[in-house]
Every structure is written in C-alpha cells, then in structure tokens.
C-alpha cells in the first residue's frame, strides 16, 4: 500500500511538471526526468507527428541497435494507429542519455528490445503522436505500468495540443498568411531590437524598402489570384536571397522590407542591387504566360543618414524608394537628404 501511495505521488508530480511545461522539449524532459521514479525502463520515446520528431530519453548504456529497434517499433505502432506509413529517413531523432542504472546493471551491447508499452497521444480523436516505454527485459511492464503511462500520456497529449495551439497563434501573429514572410508587426519588433543594438552599440544597420513596379497591371490583367501567386514567388526569391542574420518582411500590398544588421551602406547597396537584378531576370508564371517584373528599392542606413529612431530610418528608406520610382523605376536609390541619389543599373 505504501508503494502505491509513493507511486501516486510520483505520478502527481510528473503530471504537474508536464502540465506546467510550455515547449515540446520541456514537456518531454519533464516526463523523462520523472519516469525513472515510476518505471524500470531502458528507453522512453515521444513521437510528435507534426514535426516528425522523435525524442528518446534513454539509459546511458543503451546500444545503438537497441535504439534503432525502439525507433522502428514506434514507427510501426504509429503506422497502425495513424493508418499512414512513415519513412524512417524523414524522422528527426533527438536522443538524451541519462545514467539510470548502476554500473553492474548496464545494458548488454547486444541487448534487443524485449518488451514495450506504446500509447497514442490523442486529443479529441486526433492522434498527435505516441509515447513508448521500452525495455531489454522480457515482460518488463504490467497492468499498473500501463495505467500510469496512460495517465502520463493523457497529460502529455493535452500539453502538446496546448503547445500546438500556442504555436499556431504565434505563427498567425508573426507571419504574413499569403507569403509566409514576417508580417509588418513582427518586422517593427525586429527593427526595434536591431535599432536599439545599433544606436547604443554603434554598429551599422541598413534598411531596404522595395516595391514591385507596375504590380497593379498584373492584378488587372491576370486577376488577383495570379497576382497573389507572383507575390508568393517574389517572396520566396527574397527569402532565398538574404543572409541568416537578415530579416525580410511583407510591409504591405506589394511592398517588402529588409533589415540588414551590421551592414554598411556599400554592402547593403550590393545586396539590394543583386536582388533587383535577380528579380529582373526571373520569369514569373502568371496563368499560362510568363512575365518579367522589376522592383524599385530605397536604402537608409545608420549611422550614415543620422537617423535617431527606427521610425526615421523607415521614413528615409521610404523617401529613397519614392525617388527610385520617380527616377524611372527598376532602380536602387540611397537616401541622400532632400532628394535621393539614384543609380541607373548597367
């Protein structure tokens, strides 16, 4: 009886730890840290379908063939439950090893999977993944283990669903739904952080505002669906043309904006010019046809343009973009006080 009470207390604290976790890794770690107090196992696995992630929390002496057997078994059980086959190559494996056994009980390097308990992580009839307890010992688990694992599984499923909902809200809050680029709200947050770093640290910061030339014609000629398609294609082109530290966002309509941290005027001009040329030579599919489009770009820079706030930096890039448009489009202009200095592409 005392043992049952002890186990129930461990179960309670495990559930509490899982329910207060908000990141998937944290949820898995909370469970993994507490489970050795409840069960005698070699490996504990959590498969998260959405990201095809398999977390394994296992005994330090688990030999690789055993790990592979666990992975295969979990995939096989999940395929039965999810009625869809999973390719092993697509699964990202994250293994965390812990010393759970005394030295004299270390696993045999030839150990194989002898018993397991696997349960689906279900919420409202939807399978989010599965959890699994695995052992190199035959008949390692009994009915009480299954009951405890199911209680843990229900809490994990609820927490993971909560995490999934939070992530989707977070995505809506920061991404533009059409193009998948960051939205204007997130851009302003990022710019705020980068501007603060630059203004206080003295590092250069460039902003490139861009607009697709005569985009209205695309919409008017081919319709808005095709126009949206062009916006998506240009967005992926932009996403693939920037560096890891840069940020590209949809500023509105057919306007995009780039934050180039630690980038001087000359370098930002080279980046902008490369993008302008890339757009110019890329054919875009619209309906059955292909069109060539151009973009105009305006650059502002800290400290070159002595902007005192992020708003001023945006205003300067916007002014330079206006000058590029006024100067005939398909140009990159750098802000230069009253009227921007524009460079005709060669």
Site residues (CB under 8 A) for other proteins? Answer: 76-77, 80-81, 83, 115-120, 122-123, 125, 127, 139, 141-143, 145-147, 150-151, 153-154
Helix (H) / strand (E) element for 224: namely helix 224-241
Cβ neighbours, 10 Å, residue 306: 10
Of the candidates 268, 209, 280, the residue with the CA atom closest to the CA atom of residue 243: 268
- Strands, E, within 283-340: which ranges? 283-286, 289-292, 295-302, 332-334
Nearest distance in Å: CB 21, other proteins: 21
Instruction: State yes or no: is 254 an active-site residue.
Output: yes
Nearest distance in Å: CB 138, other proteins: 10
The smaller minimum CB distance to other proteins, of residues 119 and 209, is found at 119
Q: Which of 254, 255, 280, 312 is catalytic?
A: 254
The smaller minimum CB distance to other proteins, of residues 133 and 279, is found at 133
Residues written for the chain: 346
Q: Is residue 289 classed as helix, strand or coil in its secondary structure? A: strand
Of the candidates 206, 196, 332, the residue with the CA atom closest to the CA atom of residue 258: 206
Helix (H) / strand (E) element for 154: namely helix 143-174
Angle 184-201/143-174 helices, nearest 10 degrees? Answer: 80
C-alpha 26: how far from its chain's center? 16
Nearest distance in Å: CB 22, other proteins: 22
CA distance 248 to 243: 10
Do 226 and 286 contact (CB within 8 A), yes or no? yes
The smaller minimum CB distance to other proteins, of residues 160 and 297, is found at 160
Nearest distance in Å: CB 154, other proteins: 6
Q: Is residue 176 classed as helix, strand or coil in its secondary structure? A: coil
Burial (CB < 10 A; 0-12, 13-18, 19+), residue 339, is: middle
CA distance 19 to 163: 11
For the chain, the maximum distance between any two Cα atoms, rounded to a whole number of angstroms, is 86
Report how far apart, in Å, the C-alpha atoms of 42 and of each of 70, 93, 132 are: 10, 17, 11
State the catalytic residues.
Answer: 254
């Amino acid at each position: 009886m005392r043992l049952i009470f002890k186990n129930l207390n461990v179960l309670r604290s495990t559930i509490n730890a899982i329910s207060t976790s908000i990141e998937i890794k944290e949820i898995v770690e909370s469970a993994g840290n507490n489970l050795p107090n409840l069960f005698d196992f070699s490996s504990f696995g959590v498969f998260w379908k959405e990201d095809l992630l398999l977390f394994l929390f296992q005994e330090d002496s688990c030999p690789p063939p055993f790990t592979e057997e666990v992975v295969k078994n979990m995939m096989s059980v999940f395929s039965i439950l999810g009625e869809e086959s999973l390719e092993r190559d697509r699964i990202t494996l994250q293994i965390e090893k812990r010393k759970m056994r005394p030295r004299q009980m270390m696993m045999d390097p030839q150990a194989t999977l002898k018993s397991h308990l696997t349960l689906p992580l279900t919420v409202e009839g939807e399978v989010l993944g599965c959890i699994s307890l695995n052992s190199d010992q035959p008949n390692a688990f009994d009915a009480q283990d299954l009951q405890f694992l199911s209680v843990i599984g229900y809490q994990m499923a609820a927490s993971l669903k909560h995490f999934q909902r939070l992530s989707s809200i977070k995505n809506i809050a920061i991404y533009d739904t059409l193009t998948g680029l960051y939205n204007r709200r997130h851009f302003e947050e990022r710019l705020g952080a980068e501007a603060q770093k630059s203004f206080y640290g003295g590092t250069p910061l460039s902003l490139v505002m861009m607009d697709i030339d005569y985009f209205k014609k695309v919409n008017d000629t081919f319709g808005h669906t095709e126009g949206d398609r062009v916006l998506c294609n240009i967005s992926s082109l932009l996403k693939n043309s920037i560096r890891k530290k840069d940020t590209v966002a949809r500023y509105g309509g057919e306007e995009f904006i780039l934050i180039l941290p630690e980038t001087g005027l000359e370098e930002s001009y080279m980046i902008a010019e490369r993008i302008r040329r890339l757009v110019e030579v890329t054919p875009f599919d619209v309906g059955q046809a292909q069109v060539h489009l151009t973009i105009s770009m305006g650059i502002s820079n800290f400290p070159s343009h002595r902007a005192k706030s992020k708003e001023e930096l945006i205003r300067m890039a916007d002014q330079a973009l206006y000058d590029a448009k006024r100067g005939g489009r398909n140009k990159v202009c750098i802000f230069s006080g009253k009227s921007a200095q524009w460079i005709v592409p060669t």
